[in-house]
Amino acid sequence: MKTFSAFRIFDEATSHSTKLSSGVRRDGLSHAQLAKNDSQVADYEESAAGRFVELTLDDLDEGEVVIRSHYSSVNYKDALAATCAGKIIRRYPCVGGIDVSGVVESSADARFNVGDRVLVTGYGMGVSHDGGFSEYVRVPADWVVPLPSGLTLFDAMALGTAGFTAALCIHRLEQNELKPENGKVIVTGATGGVASLAIAMLAQLGYQVVAVTGKNSVHDYLKSLGAAEILSRNDLSMGTRPLEKAQWAGALDSVGGEILAWLTRTMQQNGAIASFGNAGGMELNTTVMPFILRGVRLIGIDSAETKMPLRREIWQRLASSLYPKVLEKIVHTVSFRQLPDTFSPMLQGESTGRTVIQFAVAK
């Protein structure tokens, strides 16, 4: 049976017990891989629970649609999962990667035909179901989105979960009456994938975007995306009162913790916050005052479980009005074999924008 490469994540505490194809050792490495690149593998094993393995389709989780992968992408969630830095994986072993785009190889569902160009983001991919860091992916048909007209398979992963989340944030804020004429929109964690894309999308829609970052070296980058104003996270004067000076009509927050609490205190009347991350902490210490005196709305964004009708609507917007014209400034591409090199810089806050993984078939 045909074998292919996948990046699988193991539970280090259970001796990597797994079902693998013949020719693969219990530690997840094929004998051929070990002989070919022994030193690199040994170095990598010391710092992470994920590694390249050789699999067959029978090794993958069940699903009606088999996709030959052309591109995937690296999200913060992927880096946490691959390094065991966060409790992301719900069962081991699991192929990582919450995103993939490619071409349908086979389908037991009438909605999809061989050769269809498709994408999958979220749901259980790379968490409880084998994900997109694999040359072949098998998923339930209900998770598959036909590639919207106007997007390439590369575009789909340059956007990926990050672009989908950014667009969903904007959609939810608009549903809560956010308009460009209402005032400034602040975006925290500005160099991250979601935030970078959100800045570009908001600027295109005519919003005055304020970017918050702790990196002084990236101001020109953020301005090139459309940020009208940049605030240094280290210089913020947050205050301690239940209500501070009202400044923002809308906010997109990837940080959580102290920053999110500050945002609740500084929103304008009827301002809305889209919360989609916790890079700065999971706790939220605030009061009811912003909500009952200013009508502030705090909106949680869960892109992974978005229902398909809205999911397809958001992807249509990403292919049209929300497609970032500066996407090439946000994205860089690496080969599948370079995937492990991307995790540490992302977790250490050293990366910017989006990282697309290119499989050999896409060359």
The answer on pLDDT for 18 being more than 50 is no
What's the confidence (pLDDT) of residue 234? 86
Domains of the chain, residue spans: 4-147+327-362, 161-300
Whether pLDDT at 160 is above 90 = yes
Select from 309, 272, 316 the least CA-distant residue to 294.
272
Which contiguous run of DSSP H or E holds residue 275? strand 267-275
Looking up tokens 């935030």 gives 195
Residue among 224, 213, 252, 186 nearest 327 (CA): 224
In this structure, whether the domain defined by 4-147+327-362 belongs to CATH 3.90.180.10 is answered with yes
Q: What percent of the chain has pLDDT over 90?
A: 77
Which alpha helices (DSSP H) does 38-135 contain, by range?
Answer: 38-45, 76-83
- Phi, psi of 7, rounded to the nearest 5 degrees: -105, 105
pLDDT of 36: 35
According to the model, what pLDDT value does residue 285 have?
93
**Per-residue confidence band for 12, with pLDDT thresholds at 50, 70 and 90:** low
Ranges of beta strands (E only) in 208-258 are 209-213, 229-232, 248-253
Averaged pLDDT of the chain: 89
Is residue 85 scored above 60 in pLDDT?
yes
Q: Classify domain 161-300 at the CATH superfamily level.
A: NAD(P)-binding Rossmann-like Domain (3.40.50.720)
**What is the rounded average pLDDT of the residues 88-105?**
95
Is the fold of 4-147+327-362 the same as that of 161-300? no
What pLDDT is stored for residue 149 in this prediction?
96
Q: Both tokens of residue 349?
A: 């806050």
Tens of pLDDT, residues 299-313: 999 999 999 999 999
Token pair listed for 249: 């009509």
Local confidence band at 117 (pLDDT 50, 70, 90 cut-offs): very high
The DSSP 8-state label assigned to residue 147 in this structure reads P
pLDDT tier, 23 (very low <50, low <70, confident <90, very high otherwise)? very low
Which range is most confident: 17-31, 73-87, 160-174, 276-290?
160-174
Q: What is the pLDDT of residues 100-112, one digit of tens each?
A: 999 999 999 999 9
What's the rounded mean pLDDT across residues 271-291?
A: 93
pLDDT at 17: 37
- Most confident of the ranges 30-34, 37-41, 299-303: 299-303
- pLDDT category, 26, cuts 50, 70, 90? very low
The candidate with the shortest Cα–Cα distance to 128, out of 47, 62, 70, 69, is 62
**Looking at the predicted structure, is the pLDDT value of residue 83 above 90?**
no
Across residues 195-211, what is the average pLDDT?
Answer: 97
Q: Among 28-37, 174-183, 214-223, whose mean pLDDT is lowest?
A: 28-37
- Beta strand pairing call for 65-74 and 354-358: antiparallel
* Distance in angstroms (rounded) separating the CA atoms of residues 243 and 296: 11
Q: pLDDT band at residue 363, thresholds of 50, 70 and 90? A: low
Range in 60-74, 155-169, 275-289, 329-343 with the lowest mean pLDDT? 275-289
pLDDT of the residue at 350: 86
Q: What percent of the chain has pLDDT over 70?
A: 89
